[in-house]
Amino acid sequence: MFWVRLRSSVILMIITIATILLGGNVMFGVVLAISLIGTMELYRIMKVHSCMPGFLGYAAVILYDFLILFEKEEFRFELIIIFLLLLLLVYVVGFPKYTSEQITMVFFGLFYVGIMLSYLYRIRILADGAFLIWLVFIGSWGSDTCAYCAGLAFGKHKATPRLSPKKTIEGCVGGVMGAALLGLLYGSIFQGHMNAIHNPQIACMIMCGAASVISQIGDLAASAIKRNHEIKDYGRLIPGHGGILDRFDSVIVTAPIVYMLAVMMKI
C-alpha cells in the first residue's frame, strides 16, 4: 500500500506542477475537471449523481467556472438563484422521488466543491499568481506533513477523539507552525519575483499559517461527512488515496482563504 500511495503521490504532484506552470486554459480545464469529479463523488453519497438534481449540479459548476473565465462574475449570484429555483422545481414535480436532504446536498455541492475550488484558478490569474498559487499547497499538503511529524514526535492530547482519534493538539499546532515557517522560507526565496505584494516574507508566512488552520478544519469536515454516511473513501480515482475529495479536502477550503488574504494584502 505504501508504494501504491507513493506512486500516486508522485504522479499527482507532477500533474499539479505542470498544471500550475502552464496556467491559462490548461489550469482552467484541470480545475473544472477536478470540480466536476469531486462534485460527483459528493453527490454519489446521496445517490443523486446520475439523476436530474445531479445533472443540474454539474451544469451549475460548469456555468459558474465559465462566468469566471469570461470575466462575467457579476452574474454569479443570479446563477445561484436560478440553480436553487430549478432544484426546487425538480423537488416539487418529482415528489416524493427526492428527499429534502438530497436536494440540499446538491445545492451544498456547488458551494463546497465547485465554488471553493474555482479559487485555484482565480489565484493563478492574479498578479504574481504563478507564485501565490503554491501557498495553497504549502498551507494544505505541507501542513499535513508537518502536523503528522509533530504529532508523531510530541502528540499526547487528542484534538477530536470522536471524529479523528489519531489527530493531536500538538500535531495541529505543529502543522500551523510548520506551514508558517515554510511560507516564510518560500517568501524569502521568491520575494524578488513577487512585485504586487507588500513584504512577501511576512505575507506568505501569514497566508500559509492561516491556510493551515483552515485546512485542518476542512480535513476534519470531510471526515465528518464520510463518518455520517459510513463510507471509508469518497472514490477510488487515486490509488492509495481514494477520490478527489479525499486528496483535495484541505485544498478546497484553503484556496479561498489564500485568495482573500492575497487580495487584502494589496495584490
For 104-136, the pLDDT digits (tens) are 999 999 999 999 999 999 999 999 999 999 999
Give the end of a domain, one of 93, 125, 157. Answer: 125
Helix, strand, coil abundance in the chain, percent, nearest 5: 80, 5, 20
Q: What was the pLDDT predicted at 155?
A: 84
- What are the CA-CA distances from residue 251 to residues 78, 107, 178, 217 (Å)? 26, 20, 17, 11
Say yes or no: 61 and 80 in one domain.
yes
Say yes or no: 110 and 46 in one domain.
yes
Q: What was the pLDDT predicted at 3?
A: 63
The domain tally of the chain equals 2
Quick one: average pLDDT of 18-25? Answer: 93
3-class DSSP state of 91: helix
Say yes or no: 22 and 120 in one domain.
yes
Q: HSE of 218 in the Cβ direction (CA atoms, 13 Å)?
A: 28
pLDDT band at 175 (very low <50, low <70, confident <90, very high): very high
Task: Identify whether 96 is preceded by a cis peptide bond (ω within 30 of 0).
Answer: yes
- Rounded Cα distance between 192 and 190, Å, is 5
**160: which strand partners?**
164
pTM over 0.95: no
Say yes or no: 112 and 133 in one domain.
no
Helices (H), 125-236: 129-137, 143-154, 169-190, 200-228
Q: Would you say residue 1 has pLDDT above 70?
A: no
Q: Give residue-wise pLDDT tens across range 187-228.
A: 999 998 898 888 899 999 999 999 999 999 999 999 999 999
> Cβ contacts of residue 109 below 8 Å, gap of 6+?
39, 42, 43, 57
Longest dimension (CA), the chain: 60
Do 124 and 147 form a contact (C-beta atoms < 8 A)? no
Q: Give residue-wise pLDDT tens across range 44-81.
A: 999 999 999 999 999 999 999 999 999 998 999 999 99
Say yes or no: 258 and 135 in one domain.
yes
**242: which strand partners?**
238
Say yes or no: 139 and 266 in one domain.
yes
Say yes or no: 53 and 104 in one domain.
yes
Q: Which three cell numbers stand for residue 257?
A: 482563504
Give the end of a domain, one of 77, 95, 125. Answer: 125
Give the end of a domain, one of 125, 142, 173. Answer: 125
Say yes or no: 121 and 149 in one domain.
no
Q: Which of 220, 249, 217 is nearest to 41 (CA)?
A: 249
Q: What was the pLDDT predicted at 22?
A: 93
Q: Would you say residue 2 has pLDDT above 80?
A: no
Which residues constitute the domain of residue 213? 128-267
- Rounded Cα distance between 202 and 207, Å, is 9
Say yes or no: 137 and 189 in one domain.
yes
